[in-house]
């Protein structure tokens, strides 16, 4: 087969800040998926896109080409409006776990295709796999059956959903091109559009523990993704939310599951509860579902019932004890005062050092590893009182983890005002 383009010509066009044509985009995405365009060539093109950007038309066409590389799912047989949430990733971000059963208990269907963690950000599937027996991989038929029965399913995306994205995502991670907004937006939205949900709420994180460090960059990404969704017929909106300090009081797989169950039981940290309720209301509104308020569903046990059924439907035992790490180390406050800083990136990297995350996609994770936080910025602390408890299966990991935390924890004099980002910074979309 004679190829209609040469990869080097497409690279040079973007290197020289020209717009790629629709046929060029269609071809290069397809040819890379087929193996005709080599990794080093796509790496070069990805870097040119990072440096020179893409127009809205180019991003839209690139996203469509990624979708066309695989299959599209159909949830019309589920019998409920479908709505989904995607977070751009952070530290302690366990919101999907309580959110999916809450929204299901309110009357919508939540087909949540999730991923694994890489680096300092946690992965939803890794967290849920700490539950004995729980399965991330479901066939399409199994996924639809759980959706019809429970109203929510959290599972891995199938191999045939936007395969171009799977290949390109792995390449971006090792070539310094993860931060390219056109490539982030098309990666997320190609999977979500191909997934077939009718409504989507995006949780775009802002701060040290997020990929988007500034509100301006986060807003640009959010606007790009909302436009892609809307143009594809998916009702899409975005919240910009804070990730300057970790969400909740835990970072790590089983630790975050435990905290999520506390939220479903009517307790848990206030920031996790607040964001769960806010996102649930947005998801239900986007899907056109008028039902009970998510706060009431959390309080009266209906969300917990949906959680138990969802976990059991995927082979898990929701009553089984969660794994715990073999070793622990308590970090105490060196002085009394106000905890003025607990940096999300420092906590995330430290939890990763303890074994809660992975450096490469194929690395295993430790279910029990992670960090418990006993105070949040603005809280009064007393000298000698516990600030953090580190958990790991390998005590030799403590030294590096503690080094990573050194610059991320600060205590100021009592009475010092602590300025934190508000939980929700902005809302974009209809």
Residues taking part in catalysis? 86, 165, 172, 187, 191
Whether residues 196 and 292 share a domain: the answer is yes
Q: Tell me: do 245 and 96 sit in the same domain.
A: yes
Distances (CA, A) of 389 to 267, 332, 385, 386: 21, 9, 11, 7
What lies within 8 Å, CB to CB, of 379 at 6+ separation is: 338, 339
For the chain, the distance separating the N- and C-terminal CA atoms, rounded to the nearest angstrom, is 46
Query: Does a structural domain hold residue 345?
Result: yes
Q: What per-residue confidence (pLDDT) applies to 361?
A: 67
Q: Are strands 83-87 and 199-206 parallel, antiparallel or unpaired?
A: parallel
Q: What is the pLDDT of residues 7-21, one digit of tens each?
A: 999 999 999 999 999
Is 358 a residue whose pLDDT tops 80? no
Report the C-alpha gap between 62 and 3 in whole angstroms. Answer: 19
Task: Indicate whether 200 and 266 sit together in one domain.
Answer: yes
Q: What DSSP character marks residue 82?
A: B
CA atoms within 13 A on the CB side of 240: 23
* Residue 260 sits in the same domain as residue 355: no
Stretch among 119-128, 195-204, 253-262, 350-359 having the lowest mean pLDDT: 119-128
Residue 430 domain-assigned (yes or no):
no
Q: Distance between CA 394 and CA 389 in Å, rounded?
A: 15
Q: Work out the angle at residue 364's Cα, subtended by the Cα atoms of residues 163 and 403, and round it to the nearest 5 degrees.
A: 115
pLDDT band for position 166 (50/70/90)? confident
- Whether 220 and 366 share a structural domain: no
Q: What pLDDT, on a 0 to 100 scale, did the predictor assign at position 193?
A: 94
The total number of structural domains that make up the chain? 2
**Same domain for 336 and 311:** no
Q: What is the mean pLDDT of the chain?
A: 94
Residue 2, token pair as written in the block: 């004679």
What is the bridge-based pairing of β-strands 110-114 and 152-156? parallel
Residue 200, classified by CB atoms within 10 Å of its CB into exposed (0-12), middle (13-18) or buried (19+), is buried
**Could you tell me if 207 and 102 lie in one domain?**
yes
Report CA-CA distances (Å) from 11 to 44, 49, 63, 175, 375: 7, 9, 18, 16, 50
Residue 357 has pLDDT above 90, yes or no: no
pLDDT band (50, 70, 90) for residue 178: confident
Q: Of the candidates 255, 289, 320, which is a domain's last residue?
A: 320
Q: State yes or no: pLDDT of 118 exceeds 70.
A: no
Q: Are 396 and 365 in the same domain?
A: yes
- Please state at what angle helix 302-313 crosses helix 140-150, rounded to 10 degrees: 160
pLDDT band at residue 114, thresholds of 50, 70 and 90?
A: confident
The β-bridge partners of 111 are 153
**What pLDDT score does 420 carry?**
86
Domain that holds residue 215: 83-158+173-183+192-320
**332 and 296 co-located in one domain:** no
The total number of residues shown for the chain amounts to 430
Residue 380 included in any domain: yes
Domain boundary among 290, 320, 350: 320
- pLDDT at residue number 291: 86
The DSSP output letter for 131 is S
SS3 content of the chain, % helix, strand, coil (to 5): 45, 15, 40
299 and 331 in a common domain = no
Kindly tell me if the per-residue pLDDT of 242 is higher than 90: yes
Please name the residues in contact with 321: beta carbons below 8 A apart, sequence gap of 6 or more: none
Q: Any idea which of 237-251, 294-308, 359-373 has the lowest mean pLDDT?
A: 359-373
Running DSSP on this structure, what letter comes out for residue 396? G
Domain closes at, from 320, 350, 366: 320
């Amino acid at each position: 087969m004679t190829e209609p383009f040469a990869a080097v010509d497409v690279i040079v066009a973007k290197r020289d800040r020209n717009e790629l044509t629709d046929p060029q985009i269609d071809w290069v995405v397809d040819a890379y998926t087929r193996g005709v365009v080599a990794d080093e060539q796509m790496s070069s093109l990805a870097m040119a896109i990072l440096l020179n950007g893409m127009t809205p038309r180019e991003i839209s066409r690139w996203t469509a080409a990624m979708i066309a590389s695989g299959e599209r799912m159909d949830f019309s047989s589920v019998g409920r409006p479908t709505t989904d949430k995607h977070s751009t990733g952070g530290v302690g971000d366990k919101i999907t776990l309580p959110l999916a059963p809450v929204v299901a208990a309110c009357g919508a269907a939540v087909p949540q295709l999730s991923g694994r963690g890489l680096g300092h950000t946690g992965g939803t599937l890794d967290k849920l796999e700490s539950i004995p027996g729980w399965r991330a991989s479901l066939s399409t038929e199994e996924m639809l059956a759980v959706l019809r029965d429970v109203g929510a399913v959290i599972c891995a995306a199938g191999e045939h959903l936007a395969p171009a994205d799977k290949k390109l995502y792995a390449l971006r991670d090792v070539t310094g091109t993860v931060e390219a907004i056109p490539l982030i937006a098309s990666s997320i939205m190609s999977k979500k559009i191909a997934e077939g949900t009718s409504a989507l709420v995006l949780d775009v994180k802002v701060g040290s523990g997020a990929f988007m460090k500034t509100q301006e960059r986060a807003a640009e990404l959010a606007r790009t993704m909302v436009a892609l969704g809307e143009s594809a017929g998916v009702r899409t909106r975005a919240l910009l939310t804070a990730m300057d300090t970790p969400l909740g009081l835990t970072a790590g797989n089983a630790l975050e599951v435990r905290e999520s169950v506390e939220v479903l039981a009517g307790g848990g940290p206030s920031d996790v509860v607040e964001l769960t309720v806010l996102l649930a209301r947005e998801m239900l509104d986007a899907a056109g579902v008028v039902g009970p308020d998510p706060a009431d569903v959390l309080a009266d046990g209906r969300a917990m019932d949906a959680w138990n059924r969802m976990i059991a439907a995927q082979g898990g035992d929701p009553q089984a004890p969660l794994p715990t790490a073999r070793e622990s180390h308590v970090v105490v406050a060196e002085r009394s005062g106000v905890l003025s800083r607990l940096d999300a990136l420092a906590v995330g990297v430290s939890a990763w050092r303890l074994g809660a995350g992975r450096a490469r996609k194929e690395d295993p994770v430790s279910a029990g590893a992670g960090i418990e936080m006993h105070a949040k910025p603005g809280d009064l602390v007393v000298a000698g009182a516990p600030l953090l408890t580190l958990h790991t299966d390998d005590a030799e990991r403590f030294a590096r983890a503690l080094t990573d935390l050194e610059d991320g924890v600060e205590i100021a004099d009592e009475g010092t005002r602590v300025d934190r980002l508000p939980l929700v910074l902005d809302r974009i979309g209809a």
